[in-house]
Amino acid sequence: MGSADTFDVEVVYALPDRQRRIIVRVVAGTSVAEAIHRSGILDEYTDIDAARWKLGIFSRRVAPDTELRPGDRIEIYRPLLADPKIARRERTKVR
């Protein structure tokens, strides 16, 4: 794992047909936003809007300035295309 002051975290971005996972080595005190920038994922996926992103660690919403812990899995959420309640209601009408 390296020195006690550094550790690995995972940055994940899920698309409809695949998932991109990047391991990033960070130092203690690194924020979620810093790790995302270091991962290079924003260059790879230009549709990620850093000004409006929704983030989580292991499915729990977090702020970009949240300090990371060893082994954290940072999740970058895509915007919903449809309201889940409305979509569910529409699916039940079809049946």
The per-residue pLDDT for range 4-38, each reduced to its tens digit, is 699 999 999 998 899 999 999 999 999 999 999 99
Q: What per-residue confidence (pLDDT) applies to 50?
A: 81
CA–CA separation, 36 and 22 (whole Å):
9
CATH entry, 6-94, from 3.30.1220.10, 3.40.120.10, 3.40.30.10, 3.10.20.30? 3.10.20.30
Q: What is d(CA 69, CA 7) in angstroms, rounded to the nearest whole number? A: 8
Please give the residue that has the higher pLDDT: either 74 or 86.
74
Residue 1 has pLDDT above 50, yes or no: no
Residue 72, pLDDT above cutoff 90: yes
Give the model's confidence band at 3: pLDDT under 50 very low, under 70 low, under 90 confident, else very high.
Answer: low
